[in-house]
Amino acid sequence: MMDFQHTSVMLHEVIDNLNIKEDGIYVDGTLGGAGHSLEVCRRLSEKGRLIGIDQDAEAIEAAQDRLKEFKDRAAIMRGNYCDMAEMLRKTGVTEVNGILLDLGVSSHQLDDKDRGFTYREEALLDMRMDQRQSLSAETVLNTYSEEELKRIIRTYGEERFAGRIAANIVRRREAHPIETTGELVDIIKSSVPAKNRKTGGHPAKRTFQAIRIEVNRELEVLENSLDGMIDMLAEGGRLCVITFHSLEDRIVKQNFRKNENPCICPPEFPVCVCGRKSKGFAVNRKPILPTEEEMEVNPRSKSAKLRVFEKRTEK
């Protein structure tokens, strides 16, 4: 296994916004290399607790090593953060003081060509964050209909040439299955006009992102998990979410807005009669962004946005 290297994005901003109580319980739902979790553990007393969750076996192994000095207050579990409530209930935890989600793909996953995430090296198509699951990038590319591929690439990748790329994927696989990242890159390059390949970064970036999101159900999982996480927070607890593209950020922004003001009464009603109560508030109206210094040191942080929700139901 390669060394699991991952630079934690907006580390100080996350720690500050979690408002850590030394005796509290905190959950890192996307443990990765445990950079954020390590800093949380350093601020906990012997009574405090950190629960780290990740679906990647290599991340689990790396986190166990990194957090070994805090093994008395850190518990590591393998799974998807969408199952967080059930996973925690099995350990007797029903309420926590803070939750973190860092939705970025780790540097380790991107740089390990054998995982099939990168468009920069030849490898078998995979892109599974949890290698126990059956759906892989190869399955998506070779079994989805042209219309499904077009929708995924256009919606998740925001790729203007999605139609051409999808058509060429289907045409290529009729001759033989598409099995490698190199084959997919060739298809994408042949689908994007030469003048458009010269700007906006690597022409395969958006399509690879789209396929990865589909393989791991990333947006679906995020959308279906946020309400439950807010419900798990203790009064005054905070949910911190770092996103890396506009679709994720939009989901988080809209969810926080809904939980802050859930009333569905027509605006002309003088008083609320729907009975829906606010669960708290978004700490910042605009997302928190990385500093110029961080973006210079860690270019992968440039698209990161941090949003924070605080649970407040008592008046």
- pLDDT of 2 higher than 50: no
**pLDDT at 111 (0 to 100):** 65
Does 88 have pLDDT greater than 50? yes
Q: What is the pLDDT of residue 7?
A: 73
* DSSP annotation string for 106-132: PHHHHH-GGGS--SSS--B----SSTT
* pTM reported for the whole predicted model: 0.91
Report CA-CA distances (Å) from 238 to 22, 145, 191.
15, 41, 45
Residue 241, beta-bridge partner list: 101, 307
CATH code of 11-108+220-311, in short, is 3.40.50.150
> Residue 108 — pLDDT band, cuts 50, 70, 90?
low
Domain-wise residue ranges, the chain: 11-108+220-311, 110-216
Closest CA to 36 of 80, 79, 81, 66: 66
Tens-digit pLDDT profile for residues 261-290: 988 888 888 888 887 889 999 999 999 999
Tokens representing residue 106 in the block: 């780790």
What pLDDT, on the 0 to 100 scale, is given for residue 120?
84
* Cα–Cα distance measured from residue 107 to residue 7, given in angstroms and rounded to the nearest whole number: 8
CATH of the domain spanning 110-216, picked from 1.20.210.10, 1.10.150.170, 3.40.50.261, 1.10.510.10? 1.10.150.170
Give the tens place of pLDDT for each residue, 18-50: 999 999 999 999 999 899 999 999 999 999 999
What are the pLDDT digits (tens) for 173-211?
999 999 999 999 999 999 999 888 877 788 999 999 999
pLDDT (tens digit per residue) in 301-314:
999 999 999 999 87
pLDDT band at 70; cut points 50, 70, 90: very high
Give dist(CA 307, CA 241) in Å, integer.
Answer: 5
Round to whole Å and give the CA distance between 8 and 107: 10
Look at residue 44 in the predicted model and tell me its pLDDT.
97
